[in-house]
């Protein structure tokens, strides 16, 4: 992880947001990378933290974040998770279903300062992989606007005297076409305006989630951060007819992905016959346990040999060492003289890699190294040990 890059990226987003909105609230979606060293940097850069579980909230607290600057998401939060958040003075909880409103109401104590936000499903279908698309009506997240659930959720909260401050949506992830976020922002703002007309409820807070895409390969051309901020804030302002309230955004990937590079060591290089010729597999000392995204979404990446340059390139398939096909990166141009012991660097692996890593096949998770601002190299997560891998089990 490159600290200077991460800080610069957060500051670019923060400034772009500030130029476009009078009361901006930039959060970092910790699901993208919840390594404590990364959360500390995000907090130091002034980000609030979006946490999606008690574990992510605990990570934020351990990294030194102010709990009042954290907010809790989750489509199926447990009672104990909500209790932990409330007693540890979390800033906001984002409500996802009617049962959760009842649960919070039964746990509520008048000394709590936590505010509540209603997550809405605005009914927009973004252009992205189906597995990271969340804003359509057919979604497990939040309250539908179109079937009246959003309005009923607001009425229920108001009836129970809960401290509702506004509404939230997150329509999807890795969005290179931002029209879904623009539409999502406009729809929740329009909804908020209607709630004022119908119920006299004046919104103090809207959050349009995250989702801006990043450059995994040259084929990905994400929108410029300043243009993106202008687009989304304009949509919200126009639909709401005012901008005297706090607007939140909670990007993950677009803040942290490009600050990360994964290094693998090449092991065996093997050519096999295929129906059309041959395929050359390059096996590396990692795989779907440290980067499940290729297996989950077929995600492409930019892969290069680190160090020595060669003019002659061939086509290679980089495979992991796990007991699936575990083809990490297919049809990658790499030097023909690629050999055991070479180092491959995979770019743009700062988001949804370490946070999704597992011990599958009982491999220890890899370490994370921070190249710090002063040029030092600091280990911010060491490699798992076998002792800790087995510590929670008995034979």
Ligand X SMILES: Cc1ncc(COP(=O)(O)O)c(C=O)c1O
- Residue number with CB closer to ligand X (210 or 320): 210
25 in contact with ligand X (CB under 6 A): no
CA distance 186 to 245: 15
Q: Is residue 47 annotated as a catalytic residue, yes or no?
A: no
173 in contact with ligand X (CB under 6 A): yes
Closest separation between CB of residue 175 and ligand X, Å?
7
253 in contact with ligand X (CB under 6 A): yes
CA distance 238 to 255: 27
Letters for 71-100 (x = contact with ligand X by CB under 6 A, - = none) are --x---------------------------
Tell me the two tokens of residue 54: 């008690």
CA distance 170 to 173: 8
- Residue number with CB closer to ligand X (31 or 305): 31
Residue 4 sits at φ, ψ, to 5 deg, of -65, -40
- Residue number with CB closer to ligand X (185 or 210): 210
**Residues whose CB falls within 8 Å of the CB of residue 305, separated by 6 or more in sequence, listed in order:** 334, 335, 338, 342, 343, 344, 345
Closest separation between CB of residue 52 and ligand X, Å?
7
210 in contact with ligand X (CB under 6 A): yes
**Entry field: residues in the chain:** 395
29 in contact with ligand X (CB under 6 A): yes
Q: By Cβ distance, which residue is nearest to ligand X? A: 210
Span near ligand X by CB under 6 A; candidates 10-18, 209-217, 306-314, 329-337: 209-217
Span near ligand X by CB under 6 A; candidates 2-10, 34-42, 193-201, 251-259: 251-259
Among 123, 135, 251, 320, binds ligand X (CB under 6 A): 251
Span near ligand X by CB under 6 A; candidates 95-103, 104-112, 188-196, 206-214: 206-214
Cβ neighbours of 301 (radius 10 Å): 18
- Residue number with CB closer to ligand X (21 or 264): 21
- Among positions 314-373, residues that touch ligand X (CB under 6 A) are none
Tell me the two tokens of residue 258: 């490009």
- Residue number with CB closer to ligand X (248 or 366): 248
* Spatial CA neighbour of 150 closest among 224, 99, 95: 95
Among 32, 101, 157, 381, binds ligand X (CB under 6 A): 32
25 and 208 in contact (C-beta within 8 Å)? no
- Among positions 56-75, residues that touch ligand X (CB under 6 A) are 73
Cβ neighbours of 337 (radius 10 Å): 12
Q: Where are the alpha helices (DSSP H) in the chain?
A: 3-20, 36-44, 54-62, 79-87, 98-107, 149-159, 179-199, 225-240, 253-256, 293-297, 386-390
- Residue number with CB closer to ligand X (210 or 294): 210
145 in contact with ligand X (CB under 6 A): no
Q: Which helix (H) or strand (E) holds 319?
A: strand 313-319
CA distance 72 to 41: 20
By annotation, the residues acting in catalysis are: 323
List of residues contacting ligand X (CB under 6 A): 29, 31-32, 50, 73, 134, 170, 173, 209-211, 250-254
């Amino acid at each position: 992880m490159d600290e200077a890059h991460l800080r610069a990226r957060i500051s670019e987003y923060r400034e772009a947001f500030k130029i476009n909105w009078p009361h901006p609230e930039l959060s970092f979606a910790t699901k993208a990378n919840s390594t404590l060293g990364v959360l500390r940097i995000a907090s130091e850069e002034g980000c609030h933290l979006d946490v999606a579980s008690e574990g992510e909230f605990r990570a934020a607290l351990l990294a030194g974040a102010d709990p009042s600057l954290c907010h809790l998401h989750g489509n199926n939060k447990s009672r104990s998770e909500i209790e932990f958040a409330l007693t540890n003075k979390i800033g906001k909880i984002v409500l996802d279903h009617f049962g959760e409103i009842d649960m919070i109401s039964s746990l509520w104590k008048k000394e709590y300062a936590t505010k509540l936000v209603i997550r809405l499903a605005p009914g927009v279908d973004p252009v992205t992989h189906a597995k990271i698309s969340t804003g359509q009506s057919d979604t497990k997240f939040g309250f539908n606007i179109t079937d009246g659930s959003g309005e009923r959720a607001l009425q229920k909260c108001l009836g129970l005297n809960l401290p509702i401050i506004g509404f939230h949506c997150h329509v999807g992830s890795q969005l290179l076409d931002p029209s879904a976020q623009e539409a999502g922002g406009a729809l929740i703002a329009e909804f908020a305006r209607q709630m004022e007309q119908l119920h006299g409820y004046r919104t103090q807070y809207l959050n349009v989630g995250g989702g801006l895409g990043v450059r995994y390969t040259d084929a990905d051309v994400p929108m410029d951060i300043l243009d993106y901020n202008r687009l989304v804030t304009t949509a919200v302002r126009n639909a709401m007819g005012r901008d005297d309230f706090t607007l939140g955004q909670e990007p993950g990937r677009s803040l942290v992905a490009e600050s990360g590079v994964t290094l693998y060591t090449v092991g065996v290089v093997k050519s096999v016959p295929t129906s059309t010729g041959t395929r050359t597999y390059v096996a590396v000392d990692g795989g779907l346990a440290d980067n499940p995204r290729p297996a989950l979404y077929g995600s492409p990446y930019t892969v290069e040999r680190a160090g020595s340059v060669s003019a002659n390139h061939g086509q290679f398939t980089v495979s992991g060492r796990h007991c699936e096909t575990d083809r990490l990166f297919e049809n990658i141009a790499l030097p023909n003289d690629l050999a055991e012991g070479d180092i491959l660097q995979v770019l743009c692996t700062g988001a949804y890699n370490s946070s999704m890593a597992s011990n599958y096949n009982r491999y220890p998770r890899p370490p994370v190294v921070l190249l710090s601002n002063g040029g030092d190299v600091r280990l911010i997560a060491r490699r798992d040990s076998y002792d800790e891998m087995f510590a929670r089990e008995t034979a």
